[in-house]
Amino acid sequence: MLHAYPPAHNAGAEWAAHSLLRELAARGHDVDVLLSQPAAAENAYEIDGVRVHPYRGKSDPGPWLRGASRAQAIVTHLENTPRASVLGELHRIPVVHLLHNTFEKSKAWLVKGSPTLVVYNTAWMRADAEAWWRVHRGDRPMPWGITVHPPVAVDDYRATPGDRITLINLTAEKGAEVFYALAERMPRRKFLGVVGGYGQQIIRDDLPNVEIMPHTPGNRMAKDVYARTKLLLVPSVYESYGRVAAEAMCSGIPVIAHPTPGLTEALAEAGTFCDRDDLDAWEDAIRRLSAPSVYKQASKASTGRATALDPATELDAWCTAMEGVVKRGTPR
């Protein structure tokens, strides 16, 4: 039970969820996604073996809650977590929470929703939830959890880097002001802004060295975005992980990022970190990485990090846990 889904909706949380669900489908399981936003899709469709059903009304989940089509597990995230948790409890169907952030309302449903399995997208986020639990519910055991970094397969995102300095998702939170300020400071360099799938987009057409691309489906990112990108900027105020950073590294594209816990976990030593309020540091990093010898070394480090993030082991753990939920009612 999800609010929106690729390829129409291409935010990191949705592609992370799809990467998990398509793995279950690839291993022979039936996976149906029920959408809750009326505008998310007009008709039913299938993507990578996952069947997606458009929102028709509040009774949509009915066939999957009882009878021959009764679901063996409900997977949910973000805004659908409350309703999915209630329906799962009412119909005694195990519920699995995908956690993509450390917001209070997300962690609160670990208590109110009593999930059978919790999937954290990073180690730091799991540690944050465990610390929160000790304060709020230290007298009872936490729901069983596993850590699965948003799966990014190198082959899905590999491209030959281009010549642009790129920002994906032009919101204030993602660092649009930093992006445009750097373009103003460096008028002889080419910048590429990609419209995001959510948030208030900040679009400027007054800078001749800035090109704005429309929102791009995840399965087109390698060809349409990373093949045109030399450096990726990620000056986000908050990232629980930073999927675009992992995607870019698959093409050996160096990433300059604000040091959020998620981005430092994703990029590790392959990343170049600058405080989002220090424009001088960002400009210096761009100039330094533009030197051929430095770029070659940074690109090699990025490719190595992308390879190290190979999702196979964590995807196996995810599938094993889900099969445990279905067969035994527990992921253990």
Please give the Cα distance from 282 to 301 (Å, whole number).
19
Is there a single domain that holds both residue 179 and residue 274? yes
- pTM of the prediction? 0.92
CB atoms within 10 A of CB 211: 14
- Asked if residue 18 belongs to a domain, the reply is yes
The alpha-helical segments, DSSP class H, found in 138-188 are 154-157, 176-185
pLDDT (0 to 100) of residue 328:
85
- Asked if residue 1 belongs to a domain, the reply is no
- Asked if residue 5 belongs to a domain, the reply is no
SS (H, E, C) the chain: CECCCCCCCCCHHHHHHHHHHHHHHHCCCCCEEEECCCCCCCCCEEECCEEEECCCCCCCCHHHHCHHHCCCCEEEEHHHHHHHHHHHHHHCCCEEEEECCCCHHHHHHHHHCCCCEEEECCHHHHHHHHHHHHHHHCCCCCCCEEECCCCCCHHHHCCCCCCEEEEECCCCCCCHHHHHHHHHHCCCCCEEEECCCCCCCCCCCCCCCEEEECCCCHHHHHHHCHHHEEEEEECCCCCCCCHHHHHHHCCCCCEEECCCHHHHHHHHHHCEECCCCCHHHHHHHHHHHCCHHHHHHHHHHHHHHHHHCCCHHHHHHHHHHHHHHHHHCCCC
Q: Which amino acid is at 314?
A: E
Is there a single domain that holds both residue 146 and residue 171? no
Q: How many domains does the chain have?
A: 2
Is there a single domain that holds both residue 134 and residue 31? yes
Is there a single domain that holds both residue 108 and residue 208? no
pLDDT (0 to 100) of residue 9:
84
Please give the Cα distance from 300 to 308 (Å, whole number).
12
pLDDT (0 to 100) of residue 8:
85
Please give the Cα distance from 272 to 266 (Å, whole number).
12
Is there a single domain that holds both residue 242 and residue 322? no
- Asked if residue 4 belongs to a domain, the reply is no
Is there a single domain that holds both residue 139 and residue 231? no
pLDDT (0 to 100) of residue 330:
81
Is there a single domain that holds both residue 17 and residue 113? yes
DSSP for 229-242 reads EEEEEE--S--SS-
Sign of CA dihedral 147, 149, 150, 151: negative
- Are the beta carbons of 180 and 274 closer than 8 angstroms? no
- Asked if residue 88 belongs to a domain, the reply is yes
Is there a single domain that holds both residue 125 and residue 254? no
Q: Would you state the structure tokens that stand for residue 5, as one six-digit string?
A: 């889904």
Is there a single domain that holds both residue 100 and residue 160? no
Residues 299, 230, 262, CA angle at the centre, nearest 5°? Answer: 65
- Asked if residue 321 belongs to a domain, the reply is yes
- Asked if residue 238 belongs to a domain, the reply is yes
- Asked if residue 241 belongs to a domain, the reply is yes
Q: CATH number of the domain that 57 lies in?
A: 3.40.50.2000
Domain that holds residue 324: 12-151+311-328
Q: What is the pLDDT along the chain (332 residues), one digit of tens a residue?
A: 999 999 988 888 999 999 999 999 999 999 999 999 998 899 999 999 999 999 999 999 999 999 988 999 999 999 999 999 999 999 999 999 999 999 999 999 999 999 999 999 999 999 999 999 999 887 889 999 999 999 999 999 999 999 999 999 999 999 999 999 999 999 999 999 999 988 999 999 999 999 999 999 888 999 999 999 999 999 999 999 999 999 999 999 999 999 999 999 999 999 999 999 999 999 999 999 999 999 999 999 999 999 999 999 999 999 999 999 999 888 87
Is there a single domain that holds both residue 179 and residue 270? yes
Is there a single domain that holds both residue 290 and residue 168? yes
- Are the beta carbons of 103 and 28 closer than 8 angstroms? no
Is there a single domain that holds both residue 146 and residue 211? no
Please give the Cα distance from 311 to 287 (Å, whole number).
33
